[in-house]
Structure 1
């Protein structure tokens, strides 16, 4: 058996790769030598080894060396407060960063059961001294079962996304070493670009995640990633929403990898059940079937329907029992089957489904939380409270408490959860059943009602106000993009949403309103989040106005604005919505720019000589006059409108729409290549060198477009390289070129910045008014003569005021066009119903390009 002759098992794989880190690659033969040496360092007398774990080579070698030397390992997360564990179990040695130190002295030697190999916490990082006792047979049996149903082979390479102190993370290590596969050891998070760079470089074939992992993956655009070696993805550590299971299963099917939903517990070493990937799309609510060698039975529970009861598991991976003190370490196996505490049923198709819980433990953020322990901690602070879970949060119903007591902080400390995961509900008295027992269901309902009502009323009001639609027409399953939001209304919505929620969720514009309603409000003292594109719009328009008024000479702002326009085009116009909806949104965006420009030119023609009749058509560069500097002032608007019009025609075609969905970055890169060809006049059509007044400026728009579709480091590097090549010598003004390069490079690499709330609001207001500031500043600042600063400030204020006035009129006009377009006054939601066969499919199922 693997864990009996551990070093021999490792050595038999010879020169095959066993471990890959950022610094080195270690073969199985070398790993066997290191493990044997570590076992020798730990000595021949069996010891209790407290191991502070990191996902690095020293930790792995120590863990394996302890097992090889028949010691008992107690892994804990590095850097935490583990005093209660140390004081309870008095480990013989403590290993930190690979350094072995003696444990507490003047204690009698531990009496350790001969089969005992591993002690694991039942509650993640809560610091509870209650431990699960596992023997070598448990570890070997579970590793074999997992390796069998995952079909792990020696060519597999698993990236370590979970801590080694967690049974799920250890199961990945055990099952891969059993089959001679490799481990890619990393401490990086899945939100780090370097993690995915390492994943691709080392040919990793799998990774494991808890529900929170997949929350993070949604935020970084996992669906659009290219991972050619990925073979399968596993999920455990808590229930994953069925819709997300279905979406991930579909993504895996399209991308060539398999998605395994698994069910387990530390008490079962790791796994008890798995859902075969081919069933995940159609049966996403099921936990599947027992793992090889295991079995379930349903024990009836009073008050439950027939066939529904507590789920009982039996198998060779069931723990020896719990440990509460050192005396328990000498006890033998006292558990034959595991009472999971979950209420489940066996369906007619043979699959098992968990329908609820029968105990006082909940899984949140991958941690098993003892609710009674949290309540006891609150009672110690003289807080009359009860706890339950709901909406992925720990809910605390608090009645009487000291005035200076922060209930959320106490609950966070006791549970090990982040403070943002605690929802405190103030109640006059603890809700109770007729029997006098706490009414947890009532507490969950109160928390959900209050959170939903408050968020729904506030956020629907924001959406209705910004988009100028009736709040009653807003379906909670629709997103900002679904409801017709574009790059102009986006600025106002993002600033107001950030203020409402306390943070701006990643990809919020595609999240359904129902998800935004449940977002936690988490204020941060160091400021708020401001998207880089918004900051650049505000800064660029101020530079433009000030340079034209000769307050300063900092040219290049309009070209930055053109890049930002391309960036927003990729985000708001090229969305997963149906083709007709895409084109309609593009038409609305073009109208939002062209109509105000034409109206302002018409007004200016009546009172000034600044423009020519060709400006009414936004076609001065096509129709002339060529020698009019004032007529050429609107070049930026002309370029933007005609570029968007051309791309709208492309998106209206079936082949163009299909190509962009299948290769989002590739299509953007192709247009960037076309823009660069025009910039260098590759076709020899003599467009001239006065590029800032011609359609040659399209390549700036294409840079922003490509940046919005860049999901990997190499793609961002490629776009940056093209920007560098294109900008050098473009203006013949090094300072101008440096300014534009810096602005667009920030757009490529820095999605958001953190700044004071007042700055965020100011930048948002100016960015939202950037179009009107651009249109009107030519006529405003000259009114103030040599008072240039006053003139520029006046131009900004006029632009802001006109924006506020025009928003209502313009958006109502766009809304009426939408009603005419659909002929029946259909809202964006109804259009989606007709095209998708549902009322409004949540964007969580639509997000990202279609394969």
Structure 2
């Protein structure tokens, strides 16, 4: 007989689907199905493998089938599970588990149990979801069953429900999704994909998922991808917990759900209550978005006076209240030491009978779904010899520290809080900022300037440096594309990343920083991986400059570069971000081309009168003329800007944007078909010899776009067929057409090349400076006369020097902006303190 009540239910659902999951050996677009009967067999087999001894089992779990089977199997065997995302050395040393499992694989095992375990104890979870603290919540099998049943009742979970696992299994909120669905014979779509991934939503739709869970940061991500525009016909409800969501956003999502046919449940809970204590019924969300709602079935609240009756603390009573805490192994033998849960939240009961949290008794921060005790962190820093005051800004834990303690305070904070190092900001100060009344000035701590940023060997600092952003504005949950990365910043960023983390996955620009750092890099092969678009940019600019200088005569590279520009536009500007943000990012990219071009043209007009005209300053020569040789030198940059702006504005049309999001390849192919009209008909806009060097060549840009969205072999074959049918005869020069076709075919079919490291370094440098090399070479190479090879190197060197100068200017501008913000904040605080002092003096005079 199974020892755990949730496991006992598995056999009762027979051939009903329990889990959909991705098997490592299955095709990328295929999910495997596991029935309840099959899951029960696997759980029973794992339980038998553990044997009859009741032992302490530490399980490092992910959102995968092996972790789920190991978790249920350990419970079924009567073991006590210490469930974590990562078993820290401190936790392992303190609790000394009898068995250590890593995603279902037994790492270490001791046959005889070394601990006395209370008969009711089933599960141990960290108080904050992290592994940095030895303080654990002791939960019983009755706790798990009661909370799972309670949640299933108010969410009305039935056999036809299917939840996508958007939260980790080791997090009490994510675990409650598993418990409540397995209890009712519903199914789980087990995935570790982020809601930022288009593949997540493709699987969600294809496998008819009906719900997903969200913490506040998940809601931020949903806003980025344009969640309101997604078509999810089977979605029945969305739940939100793990931190307070602003009332305006609660109301917005409630209305969105009402319009789309799904319900939005706002919930309140703590690990100490196994997961949930309250929920706000969806029909009340729009009217009372500031409330946590009513107690879950089987539980109730009381309000108990604190602080001399000035406020009331919310206290929860119910069968899901933990047995108590454990801070060392001896406490695993204890029975119930807690009968009611003092939440630490100050609350009130509204006239409608709803509960509303209005504050905290103690100082906690909620970051990355973790509840962090700031007082404990300050105590740990004090024990290490630091004076400290800690706060947060919603995305980072911020600390001001004094003194010379032992070790690195940032590392200490990260370990104690269970946060990634990038989410901790520490500033050393001579003394802690204080208000006029002597209390710590926490707003002043939040306004402290970050420590001087030196581009380091971590992804976050590399992105900040490459995109000229303050490092604190770079979230670990954001991707290169979301942060505004484009083809101009892509080249050097990719090169620096590969030196730090090894060979990059093909979709690294779309991966969050956190996921990129956690993804095992693909290795093997000689040399380094060089992105094909980067290689083509390097080769293309050399061929263009060399042909203009008459060192050789190889034409066609400019049109390959136009296709590369379209390819990169599709990768960096046609993203899952909201339309307005996509347009801002594209505008930034265009400005990085147009502004330097206009400035250089103005300088040249002073230096070489008559070389360029005012139409070149505005990048309108190809539209307004004049059509002479020197005025047409910048045709490529003008056409590139026209294509980019037109494409970005096209995607601002709502119905086109929806079409592109639903079918990226078909949208690009339809757009290619439309622009191909200009391949065969110029409508008399340009003389025949000028057509290839005019905006009518925009179909090359769209061809690259389609190539980027062609992810399947048959899609690449279609793009290749269009290419091979369209290019011949366009220039009337066979060699030129062959070069264009070869370059674009390489772009479509081969995302990266393995080259010797020295070749990769040179290619990256040349590609990165290609814009300025093209812009400046017209004025550089004539100075070298017949020394054409030297002229080519000089043009490339001038481009590299100009690129470096622009990068340094952007860094200095960012640094000056940060200093200005700090000085402004300090001035405001000084004025405020002076006013407080004047008020106090005025009070003394009156006395």
TM-score (norm 2): 0.69
Say whether 1:546 aligns with 2:546: yes
Q: Which residue of 1 aligns with 2:180?
A: 175
Identify which of 323, 328, 333 aligns with 2:326: 323
Q: 1:10-159 alignment to 2 at 5 Å?
A: 10-23=10-23, 24-78=32-86, 80-82=87-89, 84-85=91-92, 87-88=94-95, 91-99=97-105, 110-113=116-119, 115-159=120-164
- Separation of aligned partners in 2, 1:253 and 1:530: 35
Q: 1:412-491 alignment to 2 at 5 Å?
A: 412-430=414-432, 439=439, 441-442=440-441, 444-451=442-449
Q: How large is the Cα RMSD of the aligned pairs?
A: 5.7
- Separation of aligned partners in 2, 1:223 and 1:139: 34
The answer to whether the 8 Å contact 2:98/2:110 transfers is yes
Q: Deviations over 1:82-126 (max 9, x none)?
A: 5545643x545444454558855776662523x332222223233
Q: Which residue of 1 aligns with 2:821?
A: none
> Is the partner of 2:346 in helix, strand or coil?
strand
- Separation of aligned partners in 2, 1:649 and 1:397: 45
CA shift, 1:398, in A, is 1.3
Identify which of 386, 394, 398 aligns with 2:397: 394
Identify which of 345, 366, 369 aligns with 1:363: 366
Call closer, same or farther: CA 1:555–1:429 in 2, change over 3 Å: same
- Separation of aligned partners in 1, 2:189 and 2:436: 55
Say whether 1:781 aligns with 2:781: yes
Call closer, same or farther: CA 1:105–1:746 in 2, change over 3 Å: closer
Say whether 1:237 aligns with 2:233: no
Say whether 1:203 aligns with 2:211: no
CA shift, 1:794, in A, is 5.7
Q: Deviations over 1:35-94 (max 9, x none)?
A: 23333444445444333323332332232233334443332335x325545643x54544
The answer to whether the 8 Å contact 1:527/1:757 transfers is no
Q: Which residue of 2 aligns with 1:556?
A: 557
The answer to whether the 8 Å contact 1:567/1:707 transfers is no
- Separation of aligned partners in 2, 1:325 and 1:668: 60
Q: Deviations over 1:351-379 (max 9, x none)?
A: 43333321254332222334454334434
Q: Which residue of 2 aligns with 1:699?
A: 699
CA shift, 1:171, in A, is 0.6
Call closer, same or farther: CA 1:718–1:171 in 2, change over 3 Å: farther
- The number of aligned residues is 730
Q: Which residue of 1 aligns with 2:468?
A: 497
Say whether 1:314 aligns with 2:317: yes
> Is the partner of 1:12 in helix, strand or coil?
helix
CA shift, 1:497, in A, is 1.7
Call closer, same or farther: CA 1:546–1:371 in 2, change over 3 Å: same
- Separation of aligned partners in 1, 2:316 and 2:616: 79
Q: Deviations over 1:222-251 (max 9, x none)?
A: 666555544433332233455554565566
- Give unpaired runs (5+ residues) of structure 1: 456-491, 512-522, 750-754, 807-851
Q: Which residue of 2 aligns with 1:660?
A: 656
> Is the partner of 2:133 in helix, strand or coil?
coil
- Separation of aligned partners in 1, 2:59 and 2:471: 44
Say whether 1:267 aligns with 2:238: no
- Separation of aligned partners in 2, 1:91 and 1:27: 31
Say whether 1:725 aligns with 2:721: yes
- Separation of aligned partners in 2, 1:74 and 1:426: 37
More RCO (CA 8 Å, sep 6+): 1
> Is the partner of 1:725 in helix, strand or coil?
helix
The answer to whether the 8 Å contact 1:2/1:9 transfers is no
Q: Which residue of 2 aligns with 1:736?
A: 740
- Separation of aligned partners in 2, 1:704 and 1:35: 50
Q: Which residue of 2 aligns with 1:474?
A: none
Q: 1:604-615 alignment to 2 at 5 Å?
A: none
Call closer, same or farther: CA 1:20–1:542 in 2, change over 3 Å: same
The answer to whether the 8 Å contact 2:53/2:112 transfers is no
- Separation of aligned partners in 1, 2:594 and 2:115: 81
- Separation of aligned partners in 2, 1:668 and 1:142: 49
Call closer, same or farther: CA 1:314–1:562 in 2, change over 3 Å: same
Identify which of 339, 344, 347 aligns with 1:344: 347
CA shift, 1:271, in A, is 0.9
Call closer, same or farther: CA 1:425–1:183 in 2, change over 3 Å: same
CA shift, 1:146, in A, is 1.5
Say whether 1:286 aligns with 2:291: yes
- Separation of aligned partners in 1, 2:594 and 2:705: 20
Q: Which residue of 2 aligns with 1:407?
A: 409
The answer to whether the 8 Å contact 1:544/1:558 transfers is no
CA shift, 1:408, in A, is 0.9
Call closer, same or farther: CA 1:185–1:680 in 2, change over 3 Å: farther
Call closer, same or farther: CA 1:706–1:353 in 2, change over 3 Å: farther
The answer to whether the 8 Å contact 2:129/2:172 transfers is no
Q: 1:792-807 alignment to 2 at 5 Å?
A: 792=792
- Separation of aligned partners in 1, 2:436 and 2:779: 75
The answer to whether the 8 Å contact 2:347/2:359 transfers is yes
- Separation of aligned partners in 2, 1:324 and 1:689: 81
> Is the partner of 1:342 in helix, strand or coil?
strand
CA shift, 1:736, in A, is 3.3
CA shift, 1:28, in A, is 0.9
- Separation of aligned partners in 1, 2:173 and 2:596: 53
CA shift, 1:701, in A, is 2.7
TM-score (norm 1): 0.69
Q: 1:219-234 alignment to 2 at 5 Å?
A: 227-234=232-239
